[in-house]
Chains A and B, each alone.
Chain A
């Protein structure tokens, strides 16, 4: 263990952690491909991508938030509320559903940004509260039941149709990740976000607009959660006010498994995607394994496994940080 760890430590710890998640993903795919007949079948691949795109969207927003050293627990509730809003407005026009769903997410993000930067409440408490509020609003709007979307306006195309042979949600997620990568790697604001996560006080002394950047990441996270909600409503044909429970944890786990430090200041868009896919694939493989019939691991194992993943990664990170501090 110690030697493996040391191997990790010789070079850039963050990079190697990120390399690790990509290797693990590749290994898992290889494992699945060799073990199960239909693992690489177009059907499995496409439905895997279609279903998991919304989680990938949420993980992307969470990655930016965590890079600043914050956390956004409201994404699940926001997605649920946005799915309701989108479903309610889908009869008017498909675009109305899309835009208003995203706007609902943006509104929650704006509220988070306000509570965190203006009222100076810790992100974790602020977003915990807005999570409640978002669920409450969604339930109120939906009158406590799921809301069917309109099948006439073309709204369901967003979640259910393909484009160039790939599911549209996958295209949306891909576009979001490319955009996210551009922002993080190529635009000054991306570097500023990382610098803020490295130390807010220092970033301020270096002349960065800290509050604006912080508000920005919560806005982005909320909007992406809104988009995930739109996808959800479109894909399953209904706005679902009680969906989204535990999504924030999936997103946090994806980001952390993707090598982003929870203390902020470091992170990678590609590895976040890999982290989200990795966690989703654990579930997929579990299904296949059960299909073989040799063992019967219930779906409930997934949260145990996710929790274990998180545990291992967090402990590794803590060790890296301790090492980092002592040098």
Chain B
């Protein structure tokens, strides 16, 4: 029977060994998996310990980390954001249109590039706000509320570009993906800055603590005067904006924007990173460091399999197993 909850009168202090194992797994599992992957690759994968391998993995993981950071905040409030991939497509479609002068004539390229950075992110943030509006104003379950833009968002991007591939070459704009700051790829710097900022926000700021409180006990949060709705609007907005940033990176990296492909499946990678990183999907926690680690694990699994000749398809199956296992362990351990 699933239904009748007896308040299990277990003698406290005597956790069974199975439960202790789960707790250990939930706390250190991701890190162990990360280390194991690295060790495995060092031993097996040729040329793993090279700067190039590091670069490839870092640049590929950057967008996952950025989107997953926003996702972590949303999940911390007990929500979910399925629309991130579509919002990436919208931002990715908008940016080239701006600096290629499809909205207004480009008089100063510097200004156009600045706008190409700014406007798409603002638009994505507004779409995120729309998600939050549906969730708070109508009390629609987050899965469904963000499903709307998950469907329509990519369509909007496709309609804007008429489904055409936009190819471009713009050094100023592409600095975000191809440039280097002190020898480190710009997107990696961006990833670090965003991750660190989110980490600091969760840890040190009022809004950060309020996010955790809303996810931890919404009723209690409301009764302590926390503006629950505003907090939720905020996290969906941030998630949208970060998806926008990730969209810019992807198109800049490819020198092309394809609304059909940008951000496809990103919601899965982001949710997987959060789950593998140890943030409970039921809310009340936001482990940014874990999310970053989770994103790395997902990226490394994919890389390991590919580098060793395992087809991409098998990587999907492994990812599926990873998600289920991670969520299962978190949920079980979270009950104690």
Contacts and interface: CB of A to CB of B under 8 A. Distances in A.
Interface of A: 71, 115, 117, 119-122, 124-126, 128-133, 135-140, 144, 200-205, 210-211, 241, 246, 249, 252-253, 262-263, 298-308, 310-311, 314-315, 318-319, 321-322
B158 interface: yes
A306 B148 CA distance: 9
B162 A300 contact: yes
Contacts of A132: 268, 316-317, 319-320, 323
A115 B274 CA distance: 19
A contacts with B: majority SS? helix
A50 to B, nearest CB: 24
B313 A310 contact: no
A128 B317 CA distance: 11
B152 A303 contact: yes
B147 A252 contact: yes
B197 to A, nearest CB: 28
Given A121-B328, A304-B156, A211 B2 contact: yes
Contacts of B141: 262-263
Contacts of A128: 268, 271, 323
Given A125-B327, A321-B139, 13 more contacts: A119-B328, A121-B331, A133-B317, A136-B313, A136-B320, A140-B311, A203-B3, A262-B141, A306-B151, A307-B152, A310-B152, A311-B152, A314-B140
Interface in B7-37: none
A249 B150 contact: yes
B140 A318 contact: yes
A113 to B, nearest CB: 13
B316 A204 contact: no
Nearest to A135: B316
A125 B275 contact: yes
B232 interface: no
A200 B138 contact: no
B315 A136 contact: yes
Contacts of B321: 129, 133
A306 B3 CA distance: 37
Which residue, of B152, B271, B331, has the highest number of chain A Cβ atoms within 10 A? B152
5 contacts: A125-B324, A129-B320, A136-B313, A302-B155, A310-B147
A130 B320 contact: yes
B323 A129 contact: yes
Contact of A298 (B4, B163, B315): B163
Contacts of B151: 246, 249, 253, 303, 306-307, 310
A311 B3 contact: no
Interface string B142-157: 0111011111111110
Closest 4 pairs (CB-CB, A-B): A307-B152, A204-B3, A136-B316, A303-B155
A322 B328 CA distance: 33
A301 B159 contact: yes
B144 A200 contact: no
A301 B143 contact: no
A129 B159 contact: no
Nearest to B80: A124
B122 interface: no
B314 interface: yes
A188 to B, nearest CB: 19
Interface string B301-313: 0000000000111
A71 B150 CA distance: 16
Contacts of B314: 136, 140
Contact of B144 (A130, A262, A319): A262
A307 B147 CA distance: 8
B1 interface: yes
The listed residue with most A CB atoms (<10 A of its CB), out of B317, B320, B323, is B320
B281 interface: yes
Contact of A311 (B2, B148, B159, B163): B148
Contact of A126 (B134, B150, B313, B324): B324
